[in-house]
Amino acid sequence: MKSAISSTTTLLSSKNLSLKLHLNHSPFSRLPSFLFRSKSNSHLPSLLLRNNSTHNQKSQIHTPIMASSFMPEQARTPPALPLPVPPVTKFKIGLCQLSVTADKERNIAHARKAIEEAAAKGAKLVMLPEIWNSPYSNDSFPVYAEDIDAGGEASPSTAMLSEAARLLKITIVGGSIPERSGDRLYNTCCVFDSDGKLKAKHRKIHLFDIDIPGKITFIESKTLTAGETPTIVDTEVGRIGIGICYDIRFQELAIIYAARGAHLICYPGAFNMTTGPLHWELLQRARAADNQLYVATCSPARDVAAGYVAWGHSTLVGPFGEVLATTEHEEDIIISEIDYSLLEVRRTNLPLTKQRRGDLYQLVDVQRLKSDS
């Protein structure tokens, strides 16, 4: 395809984030597009053949090119950070798959009860679904939106999350709620530590604008504004990258989080009855396996009478792409263990970071590059 041979392809961009995959010309233009063009024609993407003239002129020895000549460290710019030592090796995560109604006060009280139940079962990290305090609709977002920065009465949902985290001494990835900031609305996830402090705020970067004729049409950009910043946060249960629902479709964001040393990526999400059966588990396992880290998702429970019907199936996936825990579509609280020692095990089993072809491709974390300069 023509797009596969352009000199620079912009994969993901925003005010503060633009990921560029540098493709350079070589004689291998007829290879599949994922084998992008080589920086050096001397490095073939295959094994070199060498004749052994001393012993047998007919025999051929397959000699692998040294991995170092592939410049794997240059496949990420700036170079990937080493995986940090986490504050804990093992802990329990709680995924609260909640029913959501038009009653905001009820939704807040119901979420708090689920958080308390998960903590009582030993969860040190509790996660809520996408848009858990409001119906999922463009009509509802402006009505239910809260001023998170103002806090207090202006944001009763986050006030509850902060208090629950402080009282229960847990970390909360607070799903997402509609946020009002000036004259703009965002789909926003807040992360609170065990002191109740707001540690991070992620605004959904990729808005859910899709049209599948006869199945589903939803245009989030009618009311919402896209976020401009990837979010990675150090918590008492490790370094966590945050994405919201549609963000999971963009592997570049997950790669950025992995290169910044994430142990876990959390995606509160609400896939629908069309894309959910096909892609929900597939994307989670792909993000986890490709980046060799944990992926956790949390969906609202399914309500067939709602205007938007969620798929459900909240899930925890391990660094080998294995489903560790999941559920169906009803309300549920999943409790499962995360063991970070498996990250190094899997990265030793499959040493992908040492096998990348920095001589062929490069992913640029523009935000980090600018901050380092």
Place of tokens 């391990």: 318
- Stretch among 64-68, 72-76, 95-99, 142-146 having the lowest mean pLDDT: 64-68
Catalytic residue among 96, 189, 190, 245: 245
Q: Which pLDDT score, from 0 to 100, does residue 372 have?
A: 81
Is the pLDDT at 90 greater than 70? The verdict is yes
Is the pLDDT at 37 greater than 70? The verdict is no
58 is catalytic: no
DSSP assignment letter at 60: E
pTM for the whole thing?
0.83
Place of tokens 């949902």: 157
| pLDDT 10s digits, 349-370 | 999 999 999 999 999 999 999 9
Q: Which pLDDT score, from 0 to 100, does residue 66 have?
A: 57
Q: Torsion over CA of 279, 281, 286 and 292, rounded to 10 degrees?
A: 160
- Stretch among 29-43, 99-113, 122-136, 350-364 having the lowest mean pLDDT: 29-43
117 is catalytic: no
Q: Which pLDDT score, from 0 to 100, does residue 57 have?
A: 46
Is the pLDDT at 197 greater than 60? The verdict is yes
Contact 177, 131 (CB under 8 A): yes
Q: Which pLDDT score, from 0 to 100, does residue 264 have?
A: 99
Contact 270, 130 (CB under 8 A): yes
Contact 266, 83 (CB under 8 A): no
**pLDDT tier, 24 (very low <50, low <70, confident <90, very high otherwise):** very low
Q: Which pLDDT score, from 0 to 100, does residue 64 have?
A: 56
The tokens of 127 are what?
């996660």
Across 291-315, average pLDDT: 98
| pLDDT 10s digits, 243-253 | 999 999 999 99
Across 224-244, average pLDDT: 98
Domains annotated for the chain, with CATH where assigned, are 90-372 (3.60.110.10)
DSSP assignment letter at 140: H
Complete DSSP assignment for 248-272: GG-HHHHHHHHHTT-SEEEEE---B
**pLDDT tier, 67 (very low <50, low <70, confident <90, very high otherwise):** low
Is the pLDDT at 254 greater than 60? The verdict is yes
**pLDDT tier, 4 (very low <50, low <70, confident <90, very high otherwise):** very low
Is the pLDDT at 89 greater than 50? The verdict is yes
Q: Which pLDDT score, from 0 to 100, does residue 65 have?
A: 56
Q: Which pLDDT score, from 0 to 100, does residue 373 have?
A: 75
Q: Which pLDDT score, from 0 to 100, does residue 31 have?
A: 39
Is the pLDDT at 172 greater than 50? The verdict is yes
Catalytic residue among 130, 146, 220, 252: 130
298 is catalytic: no
Percent of the chain with pLDDT over 70: 82
Catalytic residue among 92, 199, 204, 252: 204
Chain centre distance of CA 354: 22
